[in-house]
Amino acid sequence: MFHFSNIVRSKGDPKIVEGGPSLKQPPDQLARALGWLGIGLGITEFLAPRRVTEALGMEGRETLVRAFGLREILAGVMSLSVDRNAGLWARVGGDGLDAAALLSGLTSDNPKKGNIALALLMVGGIAMLDYRAAQDTKPRRPPPNARRKLYPNRSGFPKGVQAAKGRAKEMIQHKTAGVTS
Amino acid sequence: MKALVWHGKEDIRCDTVTDPEIQDPRDAIIKVTSCAICGSDLHLFHNFIPGMMPGDIMGHETMGEVVEVGCGVDSKLKKGDRIVVPFTIICGECDQCKRGNFSVCETTNRKKHLADKVFGHSTAGLFGYTHLTGGYPGGQAEYLRVPFADATHIKVPAGIPDEQLLFLSDIFPTGWQAAVQCDIVPTDTVAIWGCGPVGQMAIRSAILLGANQVIAIDCLPERLSMAEAAGATTINFENESVLERLKELTDGKGPEKCIDCVGMESHVSASWPDTLLDRAKQMVMLESDRPHVLREMIYVCRPGGIISVPGVYSGFSDKLPMGAFMNKGLTMRTGQTHVNRWTDDLLRRIEQGEIDPSFVITHTVPLEQGPEMYQMFRDKRDSCVKVVLKP
């Protein structure tokens, strides 16, 4: 991968000889894949809602599908950002909404109920992946109530704070005297 | 050599790269003895500032020993000299350098055409800080090529540890310039948003410049304790209202001088809906910066006051209250730091024991641990305030 970046380096600048280990973990890669999947699915739902509703036998629900598409896109974008964990939890919530909407169409008179069952199965599988990725990418920030080291002795003034303030006063007096004289 | 290399968002690796070479007669190569991770490196880590390319070496806070000089460096620098490398690359000869406006040097940005298009005019070349500022390899490495080395250096004496001198490269003069820009007079209250490394330096600078009262604003106890240690009054914005406390501490008048040491990645919280909106817009590239601190400063600053902005902003900020800014007659001063304008004075203050900038270091680790330290610094784990790397 770094061979391309080496080609575009300015002449004489250091080029990569051997790559070190990446900070990216498999859950990060899973989050990225789910983010792009969401964006792809969302665009489809937003641009072609009729095809989706026809496939599911849920004609007349195009506005809902479009709204779900928009939600998928936003959650997908969030999953690709540094706030990926929030994006993934948004996706988990969205999976719930998807399932509820699909269940509402699973009626005995729906000739496409087989497709709905298949879609439910897919949503279930993706929901499991979303949940797993959300769990594995939890922010590593310490909780607000975590014990923290404090630095009450690090003034940065080797002669003390008062001496620093005194020195500042002296400098100001010196400058003022210079101006008035 | 080993170097910390940017491979993409949140992906910095310790790679083996080829050693730098002298490319121009004015170049020098240094063997890096100490380097540090800057808060502004986190903007690159998050890929919030455009213009990074996979393979770019990070780092702009570096010092070391000169091991090779180009034939055009003259007698200003020789092998064996110990130098701190200012993060702004300067030629020392252009009109701006002659005026002391080193961070807008007209010569050193080798990708001037990019900066001209984005900013209207080019600024100085910077080490390890995107291709908008020249795409120069940074100093989180074992060796560093210093372009225009005859001007781009701060010669430092032996006998003072690296830890006391390293921050002359960026955060100390940055905090100092932020305070100087405030034209502090002895009756002033200076409020400083953000108690990270630059904020800590700004606090001490404001004290050394004679401010009557310094107020430090943050939410992390370790940073607030460090600010208190220097004599600042602190406000934890998660526990109390910044606006109310600032009014209370200034008899309802507001601070005369405000310093933004936060920049484009202000804290996001449901308590401030504007931060949520900014974050959402930033995510879909409708806004590049989250300027909550700027908004708050404009609102709270005493009319006729000064707002100083050393915090990094990269592009576009929405919903800035320009009405309040104009009607209150505020002045805003900002810019990358003109490092060499201040370093003679600051080095003298270090030598005389007036200040010891090493107080801010909380973690010192080998260069190889750099990638993990980026994460630790970002996540504020282990009460991390400043990381120094030893190649």
- Is residue A170 in a domain? no
Contacts of A107 (CB under 8 A, 6+ apart): A113
Q: End of a domain among B293, B315, B334?
A: B334
pLDDT for residue A174: 84
pLDDT for residue A40: 97
pLDDT for residue A171: 87
Q: How far A13 CA sits from the closest chain B CA (Å)?
A: 6
Contacts of residue A165 in chain B, CB cutoff 8 Å? 207, 210, 231
- Is residue A55 in a domain? yes
Over residues B146-162, the mean pLDDT reads 97
Helix extents (H) in A48-155: 49-56, 62-80, 84-104, 113-136
The verdict on B269 and B122 lying in the same domain is no
What ipTM describes this predicted complex? 0.93
- Is residue A124 in a domain? yes
**Does A178 have pLDDT greater than 80?**
no
pLDDT for residue B178: 98
Contacts of B16 (CB under 8 A, 6+ apart): A16, A17, A18, A20, B1, B2
pLDDT for residue A179: 59
pLDDT for residue A143: 81
Instruction: Work out the mean pLDDT of chain B and round it to a whole number.
Output: 97
Over residues A129-145, the mean pLDDT reads 89
What's the CATH code of the domain at B158? 3.90.180.10
The verdict on B24 and B125 lying in the same domain is yes
The three state secondary structure string of chain B is: CEEEEEEECCEEEEEEECCCCCCCCCCEEEEEEEEEECHHHHHHHCCCCCCCCCCEECCCEEEEEEEEECCCCCCCCCCCCEEEECCEECCCCCHHHHCCCHHHCCCCCCCHHHHHHHHCCCCCEEECCCHHHCCECCCCECEEEECCCCCCCEECCCCCCHHHHHHHHCHHHHHHHHHHCCCCCCCCEEEEECCCHHHHHHHHHHHHCCCCEEEEEECCHHHHHHHHHCCCEEEECCCCCHHHHHHHHCCCCCCCEEEECCCCECCCCCCCHHHHHHHHHHHCCCCCCECHHHHHHHHHCCCCCEEEECCCCCCCCCCCCHHHHHHCCCEEEECCCCHHHHHHHHHHHHHCCCCCHHHHCCEEEEHHHHHHHHHHHHHCHHHCCCEEEEC
pLDDT for residue A173: 87
**Judged by CB atoms within 8 Å, which residues 52-91 of A form the interface with B?**
74, 77-78, 81-83
Q: End of a domain among B334, B358, B377?
A: B334
- Is residue A15 in a domain? no
- Is residue A147 in a domain? no
The verdict on B353 and B320 lying in the same domain is no
The verdict on B156 and B255 lying in the same domain is no
**Does B234 have pLDDT greater than 90?**
yes
- Is residue A179 in a domain? no
Give B186-214 pLDDT, tens digit per residue. 999 999 999 999 999 999 999 999 999 99
Of A1, A17, A21, which has the smallest distance from its Cβ to B18's Cβ? A17
The verdict on B192 and B295 lying in the same domain is yes
Closest to A171 measured CA to CA, from B186, B200, B233: B186
CB pairs under 8 A between A and B: 170
Q: Could you tell me which chain A residue has the CA closest to the CA of B42?
A: A82
Contacts of residue A142 in chain B, CB cutoff 8 Å? 379-381
Of B57, B354, B375, which has the smallest distance from its Cβ to A167's Cβ? B354
The number of distinct structural domains making up chain B is: 2
- Is residue A1 in a domain? no
The number of distinct structural domains making up chain A is: 1
| Domain membership of residue A34 as a residue range | 25-136
| Domain membership of residue B97 as a residue range | 2-170+337-390
**Does A181 have pLDDT greater than 80?**
no
Q: Are A27 and A137 in contact (CB under 8 A)?
A: yes
**Does B249 have pLDDT greater than 80?**
yes
- Which of A11, A83, A155 is best to mutate for the B interface (most B CBs within 10 A)? A155
Cβ separation A154–B279 shorter than 8 A: no
- Of the pLDDT bands very low, low, confident and very high (cuts 50, 70, 90), residue A1 is low
What's the CATH code of the domain at B242? 3.40.50.720
The verdict on B18 and B142 lying in the same domain is yes
Q: Could you tell me which chain A residue has the CA closest to the CA of B373?
A: A23
The verdict on B56 and B204 lying in the same domain is no
- Which of B160, B359, B389 is best to mutate for the A interface (most A CBs within 10 A)? B359
What single letter denotes the amino acid at residue A21? P
Over residues B211-223, the mean pLDDT reads 97
Residue reference for tokens 């007659």: B329
Q: How far apart are CA B139 and CA B49, in angstroms?
A: 19
Cβ separation B230–A159 shorter than 8 A: no
The verdict on B166 and B185 lying in the same domain is no
The verdict on B28 and B134 lying in the same domain is yes
The verdict on B241 and B92 lying in the same domain is no
**Does A157 have pLDDT greater than 60?**
yes
